[in-house]
Amino acid sequence: EPEVTQTPSHQVTQMGQEVILRCVPISNHLYFYWYRQILGQKVEFLVSFYNNEISEKSEIFDDQFSVERPDGSNFTLKIRSTKLEDSAMYFCASSEPTGVGGYTFGSGTRLTVV
Amino acid sequence: GQNIDQPTEMTATEGAIVQINCTYQTSGFNGLFWYQQHAGEAPTFLSYNVLDGLEEKGRFSSFLSRSKGYSYLLLKELQMKDSASYLCAVRRISGSARQLTFGSGTQLTVLP
C-alpha cells in the first residue's frame, strides 16, 4: 500500500537553530499538508499546499515556518529559528482531491528543541 | 471558525460494541473523517462520510447527519488492540484550500 515517508523520525535541535523536516508524499496525490501534535494535545493543522503554492495556513504557521516542494517528490517544512514550544510530533500528509481515500499521514518526525 | 466535540475518554469490554459520538460546527463542510491513533504513532484513516447515512467497513461503521452536525463511529466485537485514541475530523473546502480539522480525540480503553 502506498505510504507517506518522513525523515528523520527524531530530531533534537538547540533553540534558535533551523530545522528542515522532509516528506515524500504518495506519488499521485496532489494536496500536501503539515500537521503538528504537541505531546498530549490534539493534531493541529499547519499548512496545506497545492499546485506549488500554499493554499491555506493556520495562525500557528507564522513567519518562522516555510514549506517547499523542491522537486517532484519531496515536500519540506522549515522552521527558521526554533523555540522550545516548537517541540512536537510533526506529521506530513497527502490526499487525492476527492479525499475519498482519506488523508494519508506519514509516521511523523518527533522534534525536540532544547 | 470550527468547533468539534467528542468525549475525552470511554471504556468498554472486549467483545462489546461501543459508539463514539462527535458533534461539529463548521462552514464549507465537505466530509467527516474518523482516524485511529495509537500513542506515539500517526493517525490511521478509518472512514469517511460526506453524505448522510451509515458507512460500514468490517467491524467499523460511521454515521453522519449533516443537518444535526453529528457523527458517530461504531466499533463492534471489540478487541484489545482497539484501545487507542479515535479522532473525529472535519474537512472544509474553500477554493483550492482543503483543511482537515481534528477534534481532541476520544481515548478508548478496551478491558478484558
Q: Which is nearest to A79 in space by CA: A32, A34, A21?
A: A21
- Please tell me which residue of chain A has the smallest CA distance to B106: A42
Q: Which residue, A98, A108, A104, A110, is CA-closest to A27?
A: A104
Mutate to test the interface with A, among B26, B96, B107 (most CBs of A within 10 A): B96
- A45/B101 touch (CB, cutoff 8 Å), yes or no: yes
pLDDT score for B98: 78
Q: Per the CB < 8 Å rule, is B98 touching A45?
A: no
Residue A101 has pLDDT above 80, yes or no: no
Flag residues of chain B having pLDDT under 50. none
- Does pLDDT of A97 surpass 80? no
Question: What pLDDT digit, counting tens, does each position of B43-75 carry?
Answer: 999 999 999 999 998 999 999 999 999 999 999
The three three-digit cell numbers of residue A53, written as one number: 503554492
- From chain A, pick out residues whose CB is under 8 angstroms from the CB of B98: 31, 48, 50, 55-56, 95, 99
Question: Given this model, what pLDDT does residue B2 score?
Answer: 75
Cβ of B48 within 8 Å of Cβ of A105? The answer is: no
Please, what is the average pLDDT of chain B?
94
Residues whose CB falls within 8 Å of the CB of residue A25, separated by 6 or more in sequence, listed in order: A4, A32, A73, A75, A92, A93, A94
Residue A99: per-residue pLDDT: 64
Candidate from A43, A99, A104 with C-beta closest to B31: A99
Distance, in Å, from the CA atom of B10 to the CA atom of B38, rounded to the nearest integer, reads 15
Of B45, B98, B102, the CB nearest to A43: B102
Q: What is the pLDDT of residue A73?
A: 87
Cβ atoms < 10 Å from Cβ of A62: 9
pLDDT of A75 > 90? The answer is yes
- A55–B96 CB contact, under 8 Å: yes
DSSP state, B97?
E
Among candidates B9, B5, B12, B20, which has minimal Cα distance to B79? Answer: B12
For B111, counting Cβ atoms within 10 Å of its Cβ (0-12 exposed, 13-18 middle, 19+ buried), the class is exposed
What is each CA distance from B1 to B24, B25, B26, B27, in whole angstroms?
11, 8, 6, 8
Whether residue B107 lies within 8 A of chain A, CB to CB, comes out as no
Nearest to A51 among B31, B87, B96 (CB): B96
Note whether B42 contacts A105, CB cutoff 8 Å: yes
Number of H helices, E strands in chain A: 0, 11
Residue A100 has pLDDT above 70, yes or no: no
